[in-house]
Amino acid sequence: MAPPLIQLNEIDLSFGGTPLLEGAELLVSPGDRLCLVGRNGSGKSTLMKIAAGMIEPDAGERFVQPGATVRYLPQEPDMTGHETVLAYVEAGLAPGDDLHIAARLLEQLSVDPAAEPANLSGGEARRAALARTLAPKPDVVLLDEPTNHLDLPAIEWLESWLGGYRGALVLISHDRRFLENLSQTTVWIDRGKTRRIEIGFSGFEEWRDEQLAQEERDQQKLDRKIGREEDWLRYGVTARRKRNTRRLAELQALRQARREYRGVQGQATFSAAEAEKSGNLVIEAKNVSKAFDDTPIVRDLSLKLRRGDRLGIIGPNGTGKTTLVKLLTGELPPDSGTIRLGANLAMATLEQDRAQLDPDASLKDAITRGGSDMIDVGGQTKHVAAYMKDFLFTPEQMGTPVRALSGGERARLMIARAMATPSNLLVLDEPTNDLDLDTLDVLQDMLGSYEGTVLLISHDRDFLDRIVGSVLAPEGGGVWREYAGGYSDMLAQRGAELGKDKPKGGKQKSQPKAKPKRDTNNRGRLSFKQKHALETLPGEIERLRTQARKLEERLADPDFYSRDPEGFERATTRLGEIHKALSEAEDRWLELEMLREQLENS
């Protein structure tokens, strides 16, 4: 077995209060494809910085093989002191490295080497930092959220490059598809501890759920054992005569184990404040065009969105996704064509740019926008402190200034602000940035039960596959085309045409090939979206049945109509809607189950 390139042993680190890391371990060997996973705040980035030698732990040992080169990609690269992007990238090269590789990588990543670092957008800065990290071809690459602010072509290019990279790779990412395609080993950081499993991220979540279920069973056994011992202490005949000091000591040890147990961190519970239903027609675009400085952004677009539709908008940075959304929502007038908005629209927007947050505002004022202490969400009035708990903020953080929040906390804050606005049309611009995977799951569940319409701009392929019913993609020259299904379905329909949207430079073919991606749309198997529906529909069916039973019980009250005629009418209408949705869900599940059996038997 080859000696490790990096090894961390018994790492302890605390910033006061509960330790962040306790006895954490990390082993990186040549050729490893390793991902660090865990909740926001679990210590992933901190452990990676310790591995990079940027942070000194309180205790423990760090070993780096003599002569091994290690490069680290931070979440927020510092480019000060460099006149051009090329100078910044070249400064990361070691003596003897090929200087030309810096320019080649910038070309492949579509970054102007002569640009001033201060003038770069977030996505350009991230691509420049990637070029600086990858150019030396180090023995170990440590990448902290490398896909943040990258568009889909850049993400796919990075996957391809890393797929052929021969050094060791350590990843932190919220992008499920990225982790599934690249990782072979997973290190889970949970409540200060690290656990390593020799499987990639694709098998991690099932394994983690089994571990947590076993942990819950163990705690239940511990509680029952403590209960039995306490009964013996109070009521046992022997105990009344003479205390058994050994059993007393064992009981104290059991109680101490229960006190020291760090339970699993609670999950966020997102819920949107929904307004009254919109009309059936939400947005209708007819032959819409828009150009800036003679450059077409949208050309001859016709599109119709109905209530409940979920439209994903994708494309390289700079293709006009935000402009397109502004056209569709009426914020920007078209040069030609017409935009018709439906009746009774109430829109809430989650913008990608967090600069709109006042850094000096308190967390409470940022959520309520300086309003009262009470928030109406989902028909319930909540105190802002209770609402904050749903997004994993503590009441003690109410006065915390926005500037003191982490990237993940700011992401949750932006979602909390958007969800507090009553809406029947949600416009989400890159909502997944900086969210951990568990919080992403909660956001997906919330959007799945949201009864309004969703416009989603995203570069997260897995998130698109799980959420949207159709995808709008740029075809060049301002032409946009709508594809049925999620991102994977769009790829199957477009095929090789997607390559037109790859980063410029024509060097892609010379890069080593990435390992083959899972084909979720092959004939002979269910697509990712179909499998997801087959797994989630039973829960949706049960939820609808529960709602129907509750309404039927209310309507069975003989005094209901005379007491509240309008309420009786609303309940009757709602019951009809639920029965319709239930019938559709049951039919869909039966159709998918029959298809699954047919494919398995073929």
pLDDT, tens digit, 9 for 90 and up, residues 558-599: 777 778 878 877 888 888 888 888 878 877 877 777 777 777
pLDDT band at 296 (very low <50, low <70, confident <90, very high): very high
**410 annotated ligand binder:** no
Q: What is the pLDDT of residues 480-500, one digit of tens each?
A: 999 988 898 888 888 744 444
Q: Is residue 210 part of a domain?
A: no
Q: What is the pLDDT of residues 263-282, one digit of tens each?
A: 555 555 666 667 778 888 99
Mean of pLDDT over the chain: 82
Same domain, 570 and 485: no
**181 annotated ligand binder:** no
> In the prediction, which pLDDT does 256 show?
67
Q: Do 144 and 75 contact (CB within 8 A), yes or no?
A: yes
Q: Do 312 and 458 contact (CB within 8 A), yes or no?
A: yes
Q: What is the pLDDT of residues 364-406, one digit of tens each?
A: 888 887 767 777 766 677 788 888 887 778 777 888 888 877 7
Same domain, 143 and 14: yes
> In the prediction, which pLDDT does 437 show?
81
Average pLDDT over residues 431-458: 83
Average pLDDT over residues 515-543: 66
Q: Is residue 223 part of a domain?
A: no
> In the prediction, which pLDDT does 387 show?
81
**43 annotated ligand binder:** yes
**572 annotated ligand binder:** no
Would you give the DSSP letter of residue 274? B
**280 annotated ligand binder:** no
> In the prediction, which pLDDT does 134 show?
92
Would you give the DSSP letter of residue 505? S
**507 annotated ligand binder:** no
Sheet strands (E) in 416-575: 425-429, 453-457, 470-476, 479-484
Q: Is residue 319 part of a domain?
A: yes
Return the structure tokens found at 99: 């200087």
Same domain, 19 and 132: yes
Indicate the residue among 479, 510, 541 that finishes a domain. 510
Is the pLDDT at 261 greater than 60? The verdict is no
**244 annotated ligand binder:** no
Question: How far apart, in whole angstroms, are the C-alpha atoms of residue 451 and residue 172?
Answer: 33
Same domain, 142 and 290: no
> In the prediction, which pLDDT does 506 show?
37
**474 annotated ligand binder:** no
Q: Do 480 and 473 contact (CB within 8 A), yes or no?
A: yes
Q: Is residue 259 part of a domain?
A: no
> In the prediction, which pLDDT does 531 show?
78
Same domain, 591 and 498: no
pLDDT band at 184 (very low <50, low <70, confident <90, very high): very high
Q: What is the pLDDT of residues 22-59, one digit of tens each?
A: 999 999 999 999 999 988 778 898 999 999 999 999 99
Q: What percent of the chain is predicted at pLDDT more than 90? A: 34
- Taking the mean position of all CA atoms in its chain, how far away is CA 327? 27
Is the pLDDT at 229 greater than 80? The verdict is no
Average pLDDT over residues 291-315: 92
Strand, coil or helix: 310: strand
> In the prediction, which pLDDT does 354 show?
57
Range(s) of the domain holding residue 556 = 528-601
Same domain, 92 and 135: yes
> In the prediction, which pLDDT does 51 show?
95
> Which single residue is written with the structure tokens 């677009």?
301
Phi, psi of 28 (to 5 degrees): -120, 115
Q: What percent of the chain is predicted at pLDDT more than 70? A: 84
Question: How far apart, in whole angstroms, are the C-alpha atoms of residue 299 and residue 291?
Answer: 8
Same domain, 557 and 421: no
Indicate the residue among 480, 510, 540 that finishes a domain. 510
- Return the higher-pLDDT residue of 402 and 172: 172
**316 annotated ligand binder:** yes
Q: For the ranges 79-93, 236-250, 452-466, which has the lowest average pLDDT?
A: 236-250
> In the prediction, which pLDDT does 123 show?
81
Q: Do 419 and 411 contact (CB within 8 A), yes or no?
A: no
**39 annotated ligand binder:** yes
Strand, coil or helix: 467: helix
Pairing of strands 479-484, 336-341: unpaired
Indicate the residue among 161, 177, 204 that finishes a domain. 204
Specify the CATH number for the domain of residue 572.
Answer: 1.10.287.380
> In the prediction, which pLDDT does 215 show?
77
Same domain, 497 and 556: no
Q: Which of 398-407, 412-421, 475-484 has the highest mean pLDDT?
A: 475-484
pLDDT band at 457 (very low <50, low <70, confident <90, very high): very high
Q: Is residue 68 part of a domain?
A: yes
Same domain, 439 and 303: yes
Question: How far apart, in whole angstroms, are the C-alpha atoms of residue 523 and residue 320?
Answer: 34
**38 annotated ligand binder:** yes
**318 annotated ligand binder:** yes
Q: For the ranges 70-84, 120-134, 351-365, 459-473, which has the lowest average pLDDT?
A: 351-365
Taking the CB of residue 212, how many other CB atoms lie within 10 A of it?
12
Same domain, 448 and 542: no
Number of domain units in the chain: 3
**315 annotated ligand binder:** yes
Is the pLDDT at 512 greater than 70? The verdict is no
Q: Is residue 367 part of a domain?
A: yes
> In the prediction, which pLDDT does 267 show?
57
Question: How far apart, in whole angstroms, are the C-alpha atoms of residue 62 and residue 28?
Answer: 12
Specify the CATH number for the domain of residue 154.
Answer: 3.40.50.300
Q: Which of 270, 273, 269, 299 is nearest to 287 (CA)?
A: 299
Q: Is residue 287 part of a domain?
A: yes
Q: What CA–CA distances, in Å, run from 42 to 14, 37, 138, 192, 193?
A: 12, 9, 27, 7, 9
Q: Is residue 231 part of a domain?
A: no
**287 annotated ligand binder:** no
Q: Do 89 and 105 contact (CB within 8 A), yes or no?
A: yes
Same domain, 534 and 504: no
> In the prediction, which pLDDT does 251 show?
61
Average pLDDT over residues 163-183: 93
Dmax over Cα atoms in the chain, in whole Å?
97
Same domain, 196 and 314: no
